[in-house]
Amino acid sequence: MARAGTKALGALLAVVLGAAGLAGCSSTGGKRAEDRAEKLAANGSAVNTPHWTFAMVTHSGAGDTFWDIVQSGAKQAAAKDNIKFVYSSSDQGDQQAQLVQAAIDQHVDGLVVTLAKPDAMKAAVAKAVKAGIPVITINSGAAESEQFGALTHIGQDETVAGNAVGDALNGRGKKHALCVLHEQGNVGLEQRCAGAKSTFHGTMDNLYVNGTNMPDVLSAIQAKLQSDGSIDSVVTLGAPFADTAAKARQQAGSKAEIDTFDLNAQVAASLKSGTIGFAVDQQPYLQGYEAIDLLWLHRYNNDTLGGGRPVLTGPQIVTKDDADALLAYARRGTR
């Protein structure tokens, strides 16, 4: 994952803010919807409201297929709403906060942030709210969103999603699961494993790995599977880690089922082939799309959504039975 140095953060966002052009992608299935999306990207927005600038600052991004999908949704909504969309990210809490400060300094008209490390982000979000910039949180930080002054939170409740995983493992007859956490300090990931453990009838162990180093991730999972033959399921917390877990299983000579949070084209293909048992889809395209659209609605009509509660985009458990329907959407980058 790319990181920006502290001194370069302001310059980085300024360059991004100056970038022109938006790539549109379809928000619904069907040729007609895709044609409309292409026309919007080529010919301009569907509205004549002011050309506001909205910034999205996340805790992860570069090279991560999940965040590519989030951006696809955000860019499509921005094209429709006559919005200039800019994106930046850092997996370091202090640097993410500084990117938010850079957006404030650029006087953006709306801000979308993630709160994977809420303590690091609290002051920066408060500054944005004090500056009169409407803030929406997505993906992580539902518990802190309202407290920090955000308009609403869009995403899935990670504890509820974890509960669904525990129930799914029970239904598949699993007895000993391994939950692979790829980023220490990320409250959402911790909630996923804790939620799964609370409903799972068997034993669940946590395995912390360095998610920025896939060879190390593979080695750690392989070693755990080799040392404990009773593990019959491995749960990864992000789509890119599912394929690595499957390779680790093969190298360890294990028969453990690989299951994962989040969906991409590789996961959809692996569901179809049976390499992965099930996936938890939180619909990241919706998180990006709705965040930008709701900021536009707030600027245009002072609308809010959720009534003080998070707007949920998941969880949805998907299996081999769903793979064919999902694969086409995943390949185009919207699921």
pLDDT 10s digits, 235-275:
999 999 999 999 999 999 999 999 999 988 899 999 999 99
CATH node for 158-281? 3.40.50.2300
Provide the residue ranges of all domains of the chain, joining segments of one domain with +. Answer: 6-157+283-314, 158-281
Say how far apart CA 64 and CA 52 lie, in whole Å.
27
Residue corresponding to tokens 């970038």: 19
Say how far apart CA 161 and CA 180 lie, in whole Å.
15
Say how far apart CA 245 and CA 166 lie, in whole Å.
19
Tell me which residue of 216, 145, 144, 147 sits closest to 180, measured CA to CA. 216
Q: What is the pLDDT of residues 278-317, one digit of tens each?
A: 999 999 999 999 999 999 999 999 999 888 889 999 999 9
Encode 296-316: b = buried (16+ Cβ within 10 Å), e = exposed: bbbbeeeeeebeeebbbbbbe
Q: What is the pLDDT of residues 158-215, one digit of tens each?
A: 999 999 999 999 999 999 999 999 988 888 899 999 999 999 999 999 999 999 899 9
pLDDT of amino acid 64: 76
Work out the angle at residue 160's Cα, subtended by the Cα atoms of residues 159 and 161, and round it to the nearest 5 degrees.
90
Q: What is the pLDDT of residues 211-227, one digit of tens each?
A: 989 999 999 999 999 99
pLDDT at 75 over 70: yes
Residue 32, number of CB atoms within 10 A of its CB: 10
Q: Are 302 and 112 in contact (CB under 8 A)?
A: no
Residues 6 or more apart whose Cβ sits within 8 Å of residue 327: 265, 268, 269, 272
pLDDT of amino acid 10: 45
Q: Please give the average per-residue pLDDT across 74-103, as a whole number.
A: 96
pLDDT of amino acid 251: 97
CATH node for 6-157+283-314? 3.40.50.2300
Q: Are 39 and 33 in contact (CB under 8 A)?
A: no
- 3 state SS for 223-243: HHHHHCCCCCEEEECCHHHHH
Confidence of residue 63 (pLDDT cuts 50, 70, 90): low
In the chain, % of residues over pLDDT 90: 73
Q: When comparing pLDDT for 330 and 171, which is higher?
A: 171
Identical fold, 6-157+283-314 and 158-281 = yes
Q: What is the mean pLDDT of the chain?
A: 88
Confidence of residue 24 (pLDDT cuts 50, 70, 90): very low
pLDDT of amino acid 145: 95
pLDDT at 45 over 80: no
- Which alpha helices (H) appear in the chain, and where do they start and end? 9-18, 31-43, 65-80, 93-105, 118-130, 142-145, 158-171, 187-199, 214-227, 239-252, 265-273, 284-301, 323-332
